[in-house]
Structure 1
């Protein structure tokens, strides 16, 4: 099915992005076979990002800079502002963009083709992480989806997400309806995947990379490669952040009463042991399933010692 002239609204959250944003916007504006409009929301920056984006938009009618909003403090809040404030009724698809990556020229057209051919509502893909010293690494997020993975992880980097208007409109309504509570959600990409799967929308994760994912010191999350990021993620689980986010998402999507999230919300010794045996339903990648199992047992042991 041809994707020519499909209209795509691209939402880009910016903050202190002067070093890389021009190269990223160039890669977005040069997308093949699609009609793109980029909406930029800038978190107050100290490097001139606001004024540069305003000047760039004057030279490129495909760029729209949203009015100043004040400080967001996180990429997720900035993206939620974009979802709330951008009118995408006239667009066929919605996509997210970070300020510092490089898109393959067919990123959007290939995503739309996959959505149409597979008759799904959303698309994400693997990415090629790259560093300034020339290193590259494939980030593989395309393992088969499982029953409850959406409550425990995202579908890969949000900058690969492409969604139909139907899904995007439904999600926009939910974001507006739960605006206060949604400010507690730390990762917009996790929220979007969880919203889609919780509400019966279908999702395809493409094993073929669609973009180059820049790695640098200011990445909010970044590439999960090696032991250092793995330990950092373990720390986020161990200090309660991860299960806290699961609780928020479960409540937002009416999943708090399900058996698996019931165990996540209580986190006593029996609940953690039961949860450990559901690891294969909670994460996609085998390594993550095993880590999930171990963390549940370590947590159960810690809880039992406190009694």
Structure 2
């Protein structure tokens, strides 16, 4: 039995194949690895998928490859022009296209390799959540180099997903995320052009903040390619983890929190009362003197997943870097 089958929760054999998945693929000069990514879609055990590719002005062979697969797949592939404002805006522009209608939506990078059971596992869990409740599936990743050779795994998240955690960090890469139509409707309800740090962190914030359910799958469902052209890479080494904690000291997290606080205002009454209180308490604590700041941070309940991150959060609060 493979690692991917070693599960207790989703019933992979009985996952409904009738449910549709819209794959939201953002591309930009991804010709070097794009074919392998597209081939991994074809290998999915869940066969009811179709692709919306938004290209942000590629000058390599990306558009040629997309046109080749569009001819091969027919109506399963639609290619549109991106907003030319970076990968975050490109992904959010796909989410907000009203003509894309599906049961579930899957973010996709242009250079990864999906395991054959990626969509099956996601749909198996999502199908257990009532359609009216926003739901987000995400997972751990297997890291590979440019040639596809194993380089380890992304950090394993052990604490539960929540809005209190989402205020401090994103628990998984967008390339693992699959979400239902209710979550998509929430993302579309936000005013166009809202500034966010990253599209996947924003998705985690929105779903948890509005009372949705999030499932973090500890079983890797894709091979996350690490190479020189990655805009965002995995924080697997201790040096990279400490570098991220250094962002706090350099007030990067202050900026990110400010951006998220403004963006979350656009959700208005969609935030649950409990999460609105967490947000207010946390934002209040940021403006206080040391004693009240630490007390407010504790009362807000915000947390990071790992001990080093928690230590960094405490130090950031101590020196007013949150």
TM-score, normalised via structure 1 length:
0.85
Match of 1:185 in 2: 196
Any residues of structure 2 matched to 1:225-304 within 5 Å, and which?
225-254=236-265, 255=276, 258-264=280-286, 266=287, 269-270=290-291, 272-274=293-295, 277=298, 281-297=302-318, 299-300=319-320
After superposition, the C-alpha distances for 1:160-218 in whole angstroms (9 at most, x for unaligned) are: 111111221222122xxx223x2x31210000010011111111111111111111122
Of residues 130, 138, 143, the one that matches 2:153 is: 138
Match of 1:223 in 2: 234
Of residues 44, 47, 55, the one that matches 1:31 is: 44
Instruction: Tell whether the 8 Å contact from 1:7 to 1:93 is kept in structure 2 after alignment.
Output: yes
Compute the displacement of 1:142 (Å).
4.7
Structure 1 residues 2 and 276 mapped into 2: Cα distance closer, same or farther (>3 Å)? closer
Of residues 42, 60, 81, the one that matches 2:93 is: 81
Instruction: Tell whether the 8 Å contact from 1:122 to 1:163 is kept in structure 2 after alignment.
Output: yes
After superposition, the C-alpha distances for 1:215-271 in whole angstroms (9 at most, x for unaligned) are: 11222221111233123313332333322222222232245961112234x376456
What is the SS of the residue equivalent to 1:34? coil
After superposition, the C-alpha distances for 1:97-130 in whole angstroms (9 at most, x for unaligned) are: 0011110101011111122346672210111111
Between the aligned partners of 1:70 and 1:164, the Cα distance in structure 2 is 24
Between the aligned partners of 1:65 and 1:147, the Cα distance in structure 2 is 34
Any residues of structure 2 matched to 1:102-251 within 5 Å, and which?
102-117=113-128, 121-132=135-146, 134-139=149-154, 140-146=156-162, 148-174=164-190, 178-180=191-193, 182=194, 184-251=195-262
Gaps (5+ residues) in structure 2? 1-13, 266-275
What is the SS of the residue equivalent to 1:39? strand
Between the aligned partners of 1:169 and 1:59, the Cα distance in structure 2 is 31
Number of matched residues? 292
TM-score, normalised via structure 2 length:
0.82
Between the aligned partners of 1:289 and 1:161, the Cα distance in structure 2 is 25
Match of 2:3 in 1: none
What is the SS of the residue equivalent to 1:223? coil
Q: Cα RMSD between the aligned structures?
A: 2.5
Instruction: Tell whether the 8 Å contact from 1:6 to 1:34 is kept in structure 2 after alignment.
Output: no
Of residues 16, 21, 33, the one that matches 2:34 is: 21
Gaps (5+ residues) in structure 1? none
Between the aligned partners of 2:165 and 2:180, the Cα distance in structure 1 is 21
Between the aligned partners of 2:163 and 2:56, the Cα distance in structure 1 is 36
Compute the displacement of 1:26 (Å).
0.8
Instruction: Tell whether the 8 Å contact from 2:167 to 2:302 is kept in structure 1 after alignment.
Output: no
